[in-house]
Chain A
């Protein structure tokens, strides 16, 4: 039976050698390698749940009045888009489950990508010959942020509207072209032309997912063609020789189990833990705003950056060179992306290693890189936390303005301290290991001598 199936495929597609190579492809055995897989499986859940949602979502800003089952909204004027999402939540079978699972999956997707990136960065897995894989990963992260933003923006609830207003403000703030570009994207001054909704929709369900899917395919092809990196846990694991578990029978059931597990947990989250209750925010009206509705976590760093910048526009005469939101909303993420993209080459500039790297570093093995990574991460995270200063005010009563002033200092001081502390910790750990090695060698020698 198996034999016949294999023969059928081999004679039609000539695929037996390829299948054999795939089955025996070697995966190194380390838990941290799962993070990328979690991201991949979250993406699959996103595509599946998202497809279901498109059957019921109306990407239209046409006015309508709600007459559905949710009493507090009855009789309210709203857009077709918002009404259809309320209907998905209360009317479509399993609609709320799938919608919430979709939203949870988006949050988990970005989180898994960020953790995966941290693993790649701190172990030096991005080095030659894997720079392209790494760059594609970074591009995917930023495409994902846009995708998530477009997703919650097209619902046309109050949170969407506030997020879009900020996006519009940031687009306007781009030097020299901002005014023109924002009008091109929105079709008219904010809130824009009604066709803007279909632009968001096509970006969210077609352009960006296809882009991300293509990048995933290239990412995985490149991983497979250069094979996985590995930690040096045993002597036989070298820069030339890879040790690990074969795809089949070893890795496949594990990975499949992980996929089903990720999907299962996302569905449990979607079923049991409320996320983005759009019926509470209500339909968007230009003149409304609230600080109760908070965006998804992965936009927090941009909110923090936008809030931290002191009040000034850079002007030359009557020409506004740099409107304020540019610093936090555009330049800051561009710097983060630029540093991440350039890192493999930056690092090569400062360290003499130019060869091929199939063996991973432990963070302590590269004190400079680890220290920079910790400092950079802390910088971004402090700015992220600054975005939550209003929550801290509400819960703990610390003055918002004082917090912002403190953050304005901390974001520049703490990363520098973190850099030097991390670097010396790494060096200290290395030194301890060297002492340990010498001691073990001496002990072995003593034993040999006594024997």
Chain B
């Protein structure tokens, strides 16, 4: 019996040595072959290669009309064909095993206890633990503040009233996009104009204004602004007081035709302002009226600012109602 076992062991070893491998049990299950699927996979992969080469050809030759479409079809097609090949491989050529395994242990109480112990015991030489912890916290906190302090060089955060600057002041002429001074006679009814302060930077939130001409009788301006609208021409900041978009719509598209009163409308969130009533908010989310720019007409018929806006320009912030607009011509 012992001898037989001995013999079979050596026989096994001999066969193993001859065939070059130990006899191991299969890990991956066996399955049937499927030559048709294999051919299909080869076909898909070759087609994928053709598409990929097609992409290179389109790139190299270059001057096709609709080049982007061909590029997309070639490169996307190549990837998709390869994807199909892989899905076919996983469906038809690879055994779909169902394996089972236990979920990992939910917790390791022994290690938890040990970690706690290590941390606890390593602090046993301290006699003033709280004091040391406090000192570390103080140093760490201070260092943290020091580390983010250079961020102050990002912007003038300490004096936010720069937000109230505007380039407008009494006497400033209103000019068009091209820099030509606007005449009162240029301003027609039923439409609106964008104007800028003459000789000032235009990439400033307080620079652009909208101008509309209304029937002087239709004006409902506050008493203090009686003289702000010569000939019924009114000017307002073009920047919405809600979120800073440009007020690019005049009465459209929010109002149905049955509501004929003109209104200035921001296309971002449809804040709607009444130009006849000093920029009062009619609808939409804006929390402040639209700042009005007082106008006057000089002896040459040109439109000029008669002062600064009725309030700060742009979206609200904590200090927006604390100071008026500050003239700062850059």
* Min distance, Cβ B19 to any Cβ of chain A, angstroms: 14
For B163, what are the chain A residues with a Cβ–Cβ distance below 8 Å?
A: 172, 179, 182-183, 189
A264–B78 touching, CB < 8 Å: yes
Given A260-B79, A264-B80, A254:B102 Cβ within 8 A: no
Question: Could you give, for residues 140-162 of chain B, a 1 whenever the CB lies within 8 Å of some chain A CB and a 0 otherwise?
Answer: 00000000000110111110101
Report the separation of the CA atoms of residues A180 and B161 in the bound assembly, to the nearest whole angstrom: 9
Partner of B242, one of A100, A270, A325: A325
**Is A173 an interface position by the 8 A CB rule?**
yes
A267–B76 touching, CB < 8 Å: yes
Q: Which of B5-13, B226-234, B284-292 has 4 or more CB atoms under 8 Å from chain A? A: B284-292
B284–A250 touching, CB < 8 Å: no
A324–B73 touching, CB < 8 Å: no
Report the separation of the CA atoms of residues A345 and B151 in the bound assembly, to the nearest whole angstrom: 36
B243–A272 touching, CB < 8 Å: no
**Is B64 an interface position by the 8 A CB rule?**
no
Report the separation of the CA atoms of residues A182 and B99 in the bound assembly, to the nearest whole angstrom: 56
Question: Could you give, for residues 155-174 of chain B, a 1 whenever the CB lies within 8 Å of some chain A CB and a 0 otherwise?
Answer: 11110101101000000000
For A315, what are the chain B residues with a Cβ–Cβ distance below 8 Å?
A: 321
A246–B316 touching, CB < 8 Å: no
The A interface, classified by DSSP as helix, strand, loop or mixed, is helix
A190–B287 touching, CB < 8 Å: no
Report the separation of the CA atoms of residues A188 and B71 in the bound assembly, to the nearest whole angstrom: 43
**Is A193 an interface position by the 8 A CB rule?**
yes
Report the separation of the CA atoms of residues A306 and B266 in the bound assembly, to the nearest whole angstrom: 13
Q: Which of B122-130, B183-191, B200-208 has 4 or more CB atoms under 8 Å from chain A? A: B200-208
A263–B154 touching, CB < 8 Å: no
For A338, what are the chain B residues with a Cβ–Cβ distance below 8 Å?
A: none
For A184, what are the chain B residues with a Cβ–Cβ distance below 8 Å?
A: 151-152, 154-155, 157
For B160, what are the chain A residues with a Cβ–Cβ distance below 8 Å?
A: 179-180, 183
Band of interface residues on A: 35 or more
Chain B CB within 10 Å, residue with most, of A94, A226, A308, A311: A311
- B residues 15-46 in Cβ contact with A at 8 Å: 28
Task: Report the nearest B residue to A355, measured CB to CB.
Answer: B106
* Min distance, Cβ B272 to any Cβ of chain A, angstroms: 8
A286–B202 touching, CB < 8 Å: yes
Given A166-B245, A290-B248, A393:B253 Cβ within 8 A: yes
Partner of A242, one of B78, B90, B103, B244: B103
For B212, what are the chain A residues with a Cβ–Cβ distance below 8 Å?
A: none
A168–B244 touching, CB < 8 Å: yes
A165–B69 touching, CB < 8 Å: no
Report the separation of the CA atoms of residues A101 and B79 in the bound assembly, to the nearest whole angstrom: 14
Chain A CB within 10 Å, residue with most, of B59, B151, B321: B321
Given A166-B243, A250-B94, A287-B238, A323:B266 Cβ within 8 A: no
Q: How many residues of B contact A (CB 8 A)?
A: 90
Question: Could you give, for residues 38-69 of chain B, a 1 whenever the CB lies within 8 Å of some chain A CB and a 0 otherwise?
Answer: 00000000000000000000010010000011
Question: Could you give, for residues 74-100 of chain B, a 1 whenever the CB lies within 8 Å of some chain A CB and a 0 otherwise?
Answer: 011111111111110110001111111
Report the separation of the CA atoms of residues A227 and B105 in the bound assembly, to the nearest whole angstrom: 11
Chain B CB within 10 Å, residue with most, of A227, A241, A286: A286
Report the separation of the CA atoms of residues A181 and B90 in the bound assembly, to the nearest whole angstrom: 54
For B158, what are the chain A residues with a Cβ–Cβ distance below 8 Å?
A: 180
Question: Could you give, for residues 228-245 of chain A, a 1 whenever the CB lies within 8 Å of some chain B CB and a 0 otherwise?
Answer: 000000001001111111
Partner of B86, one of A165, A191, A254: A254
Task: Report the nearest B residue to A325, measured CB to CB.
Answer: B243
- A residues 168-209 in Cβ contact with B at 8 Å: 168-170, 172-173, 175-191, 193, 199
- B residues 244-288 in Cβ contact with A at 8 Å: 244-249, 253-254, 256, 266-271, 281, 283-288
A189–B101 touching, CB < 8 Å: no
A97–B102 touching, CB < 8 Å: no
**Is B216 an interface position by the 8 A CB rule?**
no
Report the separation of the CA atoms of residues A173 and B242 in the bound assembly, to the nearest whole angstrom: 9
* Min distance, Cβ B47 to any Cβ of chain A, angstroms: 13
A289–B89 touching, CB < 8 Å: no
Task: Report the nearest B residue to A268, measured CB to CB.
Answer: B76
* Min distance, Cβ B318 to any Cβ of chain A, angstroms: 5
For B248, what are the chain A residues with a Cβ–Cβ distance below 8 Å?
A: 288-290
A400–B90 touching, CB < 8 Å: no
Report the separation of the CA atoms of residues A404 and B102 in the bound assembly, to the nearest whole angstrom: 54
Task: Report the nearest A residue to B89, measured CB to CB.
Answer: A253
**Is A18 an interface position by the 8 A CB rule?**
no
- B residues 305-330 in Cβ contact with A at 8 Å: 314-322
Report the separation of the CA atoms of residues A135 and B96 in the bound assembly, to the nearest whole angstrom: 33
For A250, what are the chain B residues with a Cβ–Cβ distance below 8 Å?
A: 90, 94-97
For A64, what are the chain B residues with a Cβ–Cβ distance below 8 Å?
A: none
Task: Report the nearest A residue to B209, measured CB to CB.
Answer: A287
Given A242-B102, A260-B83, A271:B154 Cβ within 8 A: no
Report the separation of the CA atoms of residues A318 and B243 in the bound assembly, to the nearest whole angstrom: 20
Question: Which residue numbers of A lie inside 8 Å of B, CB to CB?
Answer: 24, 26, 93-94, 96-97, 100-101, 129, 162, 165-166, 168-170, 172-173, 175-191, 193, 199, 225-227, 236, 239-246, 249-250, 253-254, 256-261, 263-272, 286-291, 303, 306-313, 315, 318-321, 323-325, 328-329, 356, 358, 390, 393-394, 399-401, 404
Q: List 11 A-B contacts (CB under 8 A).
A: A94-B75, A162-B267, A175-B318, A189-B163, A225-B104, A245-B98, A249-B28, A264-B81, A287-B194, A320-B319, A394-B253
Question: Which residue numbers of B lie inside 8 Å of A, CB to CB?
Answer: 28, 59, 62, 68-73, 75-87, 89-90, 94-104, 106, 151-152, 154-158, 160, 162-163, 165, 194, 196, 202-205, 207-208, 238-239, 242-249, 253-254, 256, 266-271, 281, 283-288, 314-322
